[in-house]
Amino acid sequence: MPSICFYFQVHQPKRLKRYTIFDINKSHFYEADDANSSIMRKVAYKCYLPTNQLMLELIKKHHGKFRISYSISGVAIDQMKKYSPETLESFKRLAETGCVEFICETYYHSLAFLYSKDEFKLQVEKQRQLIRDEFGQEPTTFRNTELIYNNEVAKAAEELGFDTILAEGADKILGWRSSNFVYQPVNCDHIKLLLKNYQLSDDIAFRFSNRGWAGYPLTACKFARWVHDLDGNAEAINFFMDYETFGEHQWEDTGIFKFLYALPDYIFKNPQFEFNTPSEVAKKYPVRDRLDVPYFVSWADTERDLTAWKGNFLQDDALEAVFKLRESVYHTNDESLIDTWRALTTSDHFYYMCTKWFADGDVHKYFNPYESPYEAYINYQNVLKDFSQTVEKALEVQLV
Amino acid sequence: MTKVLMYGWEFPPYISGGLGIACHDLTKALSEIGTKITFVLPTLQGKTDTNLHLELLSSSDHVIEETQQKTLSYEEFKERMDIIGIESTLRPYFTEKSYQEFIERLINKGAILEDHQNFYKLSLTGQYGPDLISEVFRYAYVAGKIAAKVEHEVIHTHDWLTFLAGVEAKRISGKPLICHVHALETDRSGINVNQQIYEIEKMGLHEADKIIAVSFLTKNNIVNYYGIDPNKIEVVHNAVSKNKSTQRTEYIKKTPDEKLVLFLGRITFQKGPDYFIEAAAKVLKEFPKARFVVAGSGDMMHRLIERTAELKIGRNVHFTGFLKRPEVEELFASSDLYVMSSVSEPFGISCLEAILFDVPVIISKQSGVSEVLSNALKVDFWDVDELANKILNVLSHPALSKELQAQSSEELKHIQWEKSAVKVEDIYKKLVPAHSY
């Protein structure tokens, strides 16, 4: 009896406002309030609210047999509270159905794991508390930012008490094996690993409206048939994707909502199939193999590595600069400064600095509020310069 | 492959700016794909490269036979040109401040008619002298004679100086005419347009069968200021063909922690040197170890030096005057950042050259090169604060400089004359009737 496991990522970074070298020492507020507010409201209107409504209907229609999971970053929830409280309310209504699992991540959707394990733990704990507070659940599944994963991440998640962890089902880690089974990280005792079926996930997330694609147009009937074809050779079919796929990346007029609404009906035509959340899948199926992933993988780009956020001169310099400040920031004991600093560790800031494929004008450009990766770096460094001076001043005051 | 009769004003080593380099590199790439080019210059003084990829002709040495048919006398020719509003009694018009720099480099005046029994030669200098307009006319006159003698399928002219030559050549040979626009009078002079030059440009552009613009920016200007049908204009971007230089020197002595920011170009309205100086003053407040070099000369030079003094930044700003090629290269090689703050830059090859020397570049958004180069910092020329913000960041963060160097060098590999040549040859083919192959 194979399970279909949907996990949707909900994230909106706190984008920085335009901050030039001449703003240093004059302004200590870095968030692009206007842009963040309008983007949150726009995405709420196009995606979060209508998709949540549709999910709620599906859960009711299928009497609890349609089950899904979300990871909503802390910084996204912060912004929902500020700019779109009705969005957070609608997620809470989904939580109340009992059919929705909330997955834990780093509150700041950060790259902390790569630079400071202590910071990583603190940000995970903060997110865990947020899920308890907002959705009344104790999270047992963990996903690291952008599905950045290796053996060490799995170990850290296990030590933090999680039972399930999610990762990209990249060919380079699976080899001949299939993503459609439950695995265990080679260095762990009990945590279970669910891997994204990237072919089928990306058929929905990336290829759905691509007229040049052989599978176009993708109907729920056709997709369910592909899923049913896996029967007998799959236990956990994991569809992981950005929630913004619905209505934002794939606009409403592509038929994405109709597809989603019809999908469970077609899936249930084969009574062998059911929907489960990640922790349910992990409990339901035995570990079929142990997986050794010494190198980092992620779900980004075709490389499925870290190069979207790390590796060029700009990214490495900015990352080192921000994490170098950590100790001094904590010395200030100033909650607001600590929060500001942590928001500067959000992965998006470094994604904007990616020069890979920049000249070709690809997907990175679409998500980039800056004209170029260089602008992103300059803005970030200007902010960081002011912030580090603010921290220094706070420490001087303490000494006095 | 196409036989092209090309008219130019500059060609290395007879060179004063980017036009000559562009003509040389484009024709070289064209000849490599088989195009046969006869390149006509006003004069061939001094030594010529013997291994040249094309045939160079000097108009000055061209023997004009009075007995040729279809030809007009020089006087008749001048009369014809009256239709575009240029008086037949040509006066030196180069009292315009914007061309003062050329006066400095004026070597000798041309305009000597050498009578020889039944034929004569017209002497041309190829300089940008006070008698430029009359030189342009004499050049055009000879150009027609050459067109009658040299076998060709297409006529290709570069900028207004040779547009009349092209029009005359077309009248004589009846072959299709291409006007290649590297710069327009509206770029050079802003609102103080020289009406004679503008009229010559307009005539050439209207007579042309096809126009090649070095950027979309230039194409738009041709459409907007000269009333040309956009469908007649093809964009072929410039490129670089030189190999990467690894040479690093210290043209201007500096201590290791000092940084050198370079401006290179004519000190004229078009190039926006004033924005560079204003930004320099802002940068120096935050980064006193910066040095700014203004290389070039032009009518704004004195005003700019005065402004530098007024801002009290003279110690850190150096004016070099006009530099020769080896000095320019030395300067590139010792720079930490190249700034092109042009108000209107049809293309801007110099910024690609800077990249060859591993120098990161800040370019004006109002430039043609901005259309082909992604890995550069870009500013609106008038946004002095933003220019200063970017200069300061490049100077203070080696990571930014290194990433720009690495990515722009990589990108430069794809901005090659070979590609431009293929586009140009394609334009030729479409103009030449099929039976000539």
Asked whether residue B73 is assigned to any structural domain, the reply reads yes
In this structure, are A336 and A279 located in the same domain? no
For residues B171 and B144, is the Cβ–Cβ distance under 8 A?
yes
For residues A166 and A103, is the Cβ–Cβ distance under 8 A?
yes
In this structure, are A322 and A263 located in the same domain? no
Q: How sure is the predictor about B16, in pLDDT bands with cuts at 50, 70 and 90? A: low
Q: How sure is the predictor about B86, in pLDDT bands with cuts at 50, 70 and 90? A: very low
Say whether B399 and A316 touch across the interface (CB within 8 A): yes
A391: tokens are 């921290």
Chain B residues within an 8 Å CB radius of A314: 399-400, 403
Q: What's the whole-number average pLDDT of chain B?
A: 81
For an interface test with B, which of A24, A378, A379, A380 has the most B Cβ atoms less than 10 Å from its Cβ? A378
Q: What is the mean pLDDT of residues B177-190?
A: 90
Q: What is the mean pLDDT of residues A205-212?
A: 93
Q: Looking at residue B98, what is its pLDDT? A: 30
More confident residue, B255 or B169: B169
Angle between helix A256-267 and A220-228 (nearest 10):
40
Q: Looking at residue B119, what is its pLDDT? A: 36
What whole-number distance in Å separates Cα of residue A3 and Cα of residue B175? 74
Q: Looking at residue B136, what is its pLDDT? A: 85
Check pLDDT > 60 for residue A54. Answer: yes
Q: How sure is the predictor about B66, in pLDDT bands with cuts at 50, 70 and 90? A: very low
In this structure, are A268 and A360 located in the same domain? no
Asked whether residue B378 is assigned to any structural domain, the reply reads yes
Chain A residues within an 8 Å CB radius of B375: 355, 358-359, 372, 374
Check pLDDT > 80 for residue B101. Answer: no
- For residue A44, the one-letter residue type is A
Q: What is the mean pLDDT of residues A273-291?
A: 96
Count of structural domains within chain B: 2
**CA dist B65 to B59, B70, B143, B171, B394, Å?**
14, 12, 13, 18, 62
For an interface test with A, which of B392, B403, B410, B414 has the most A Cβ atoms less than 10 Å from its Cβ? B403
pTM for the full model? 0.86
Asked whether residue B269 is assigned to any structural domain, the reply reads yes
Q: Sort B323 into a burial class: Cβ within 10 Å, 0-12 / 13-18 / 19+.
A: middle
Say whether A382 and B378 touch across the interface (CB within 8 A): no
In this structure, are A163 and A31 located in the same domain? yes
In this structure, are A340 and A271 located in the same domain? no
Check pLDDT > 50 for residue A171. Answer: yes
> Among A200, A207, A203, which Cα is nearest to A228's?
A200
Q: How sure is the predictor about B43, in pLDDT bands with cuts at 50, 70 and 90? A: confident
For residues A2 and A235, is the Cβ–Cβ distance under 8 A?
yes
Q: How sure is the predictor about B58, in pLDDT bands with cuts at 50, 70 and 90? A: confident
For residues B338 and B362, is the Cβ–Cβ distance under 8 A?
yes
B317: tokens are 């700003």
In this structure, are B263 and B379 located in the same domain? yes
In this structure, are B153 and B39 located in the same domain? yes
> What residue in B sits closest to A320 (Cα-Cα)?
B399
Check pLDDT > 50 for residue B303. Answer: yes
Q: Give percent above pLDDT 70 in chain B.
A: 76
Say whether A358 and B407 touch across the interface (CB within 8 A): yes
H helix runs in A145-247, sequence order = 151-159, 171-174, 198-205, 220-228
A399, containing H or E segment: helix A373-399
What's the CATH number where B300 sits? Answer: 3.40.50.2000
Asked whether residue A305 is assigned to any structural domain, the reply reads no
In this structure, are B314 and B388 located in the same domain? yes
Q: Looking at residue A364, what is its pLDDT? A: 63
Count of structural domains within chain A: 2
Asked whether residue B247 is assigned to any structural domain, the reply reads no
Chain A residues within an 8 Å CB radius of B388: 21-22
Which residues lie below 8 Å from residue B134, measured CB to CB, with a gap of 6+?
Answer: B90, B111
In this structure, are A353 and A250 located in the same domain? no
For residues A71 and A104, is the Cβ–Cβ distance under 8 A?
yes
**CA dist B256 to A22, A96, A313, B304, B378, Å?**
26, 65, 22, 28, 27
Q: How sure is the predictor about A55, in pLDDT bands with cuts at 50, 70 and 90? A: very high
Check pLDDT > 70 for residue B330. Answer: yes
Asked whether residue A300 is assigned to any structural domain, the reply reads no
Check pLDDT > 50 for residue B88. Answer: no
**CA dist B245 to A149, B251, B401, Å?**
42, 15, 17
Dihedral of CA atoms A107, A112, A113, A119 in degrees, nearest 10, equals -80
> What residue in B sits closest to A383 (Cα-Cα)?
B393
In this structure, are A251 and A340 located in the same domain? no
In this structure, are A373 and A230 located in the same domain? no
In this structure, are A272 and A339 located in the same domain? no
Chain A residues within an 8 Å CB radius of B286: 21
What's the CATH number where A171 sits? Answer: 3.20.110.20
- B interface with A, Cβ–Cβ below 8 Å: 282, 286, 374-375, 377-378, 385-386, 388-390, 392-393, 396-400, 402-404, 406-407, 411, 414
Check pLDDT > 80 for residue B78. Answer: no
Say whether B393 and A21 touch across the interface (CB within 8 A): yes
Say whether B399 and A317 touch across the interface (CB within 8 A): yes
Asked whether residue A301 is assigned to any structural domain, the reply reads no
Residue A243's CB is within 10 A of a number of other CB atoms, namely 24
Check pLDDT > 50 for residue B107. Answer: no
Active-site annotation holder among A101, A134, A146, A280: A146
Q: How sure is the predictor about B252, in pLDDT bands with cuts at 50, 70 and 90? A: low
In this structure, are B292 and B210 located in the same domain? no
Range(s) of the domain holding residue A343: 313-399
Say whether B411 and A21 touch across the interface (CB within 8 A): no
Q: How sure is the predictor about B375, in pLDDT bands with cuts at 50, 70 and 90? A: very high
Asked whether residue A302 is assigned to any structural domain, the reply reads no
- A interface with B, Cβ–Cβ below 8 Å: 20-22, 312-314, 316-318, 355, 358-359, 361, 371-375, 377-378, 381-382
CA angle A249/A229/A55 to nearest 5° reads 40
In this structure, are B319 and B422 located in the same domain? no
Q: Give percent above pLDDT 90 in chain B.
A: 55
Check pLDDT > 70 for residue B246. Answer: no
B83: tokens are 């239709």
In this structure, are A265 and A354 located in the same domain? no
In this structure, are B319 and B187 located in the same domain? no
In this structure, are B325 and B389 located in the same domain? yes
In this structure, are B431 and B303 located in the same domain? no
> Among A20, A357, A38, A30, which Cα is nearest to A12's?
A38
Say whether B377 and A374 touch across the interface (CB within 8 A): yes
Check pLDDT > 60 for residue B99. Answer: no
Q: How sure is the predictor about B81, in pLDDT bands with cuts at 50, 70 and 90? A: very low
In this structure, are B196 and B305 located in the same domain? no
In this structure, are B388 and B422 located in the same domain? no
Q: How sure is the predictor about A300, in pLDDT bands with cuts at 50, 70 and 90? A: confident
Residue A392's CB is within 10 A of a number of other CB atoms, namely 13
In this structure, are A280 and A237 located in the same domain? yes
In this structure, are B234 and B367 located in the same domain? no
**CA dist A117 to A219, A294, A299, Å?**
44, 17, 21
Q: Looking at residue A195, what is its pLDDT? A: 97
In this structure, are B48 and B120 located in the same domain? yes
Check pLDDT > 70 for residue B371. Answer: yes
Asked whether residue B136 is assigned to any structural domain, the reply reads yes
A146 is catalytic: yes
Chain B residues within an 8 Å CB radius of A21: 286, 388-389, 392-393
Range(s) of the domain holding residue B52: 3-240+417-436
Asked whether residue B253 is assigned to any structural domain, the reply reads no
Chain B residues within an 8 Å CB radius of A382: 389, 393
Q: What is the mean pLDDT of residues B264-277?
A: 94
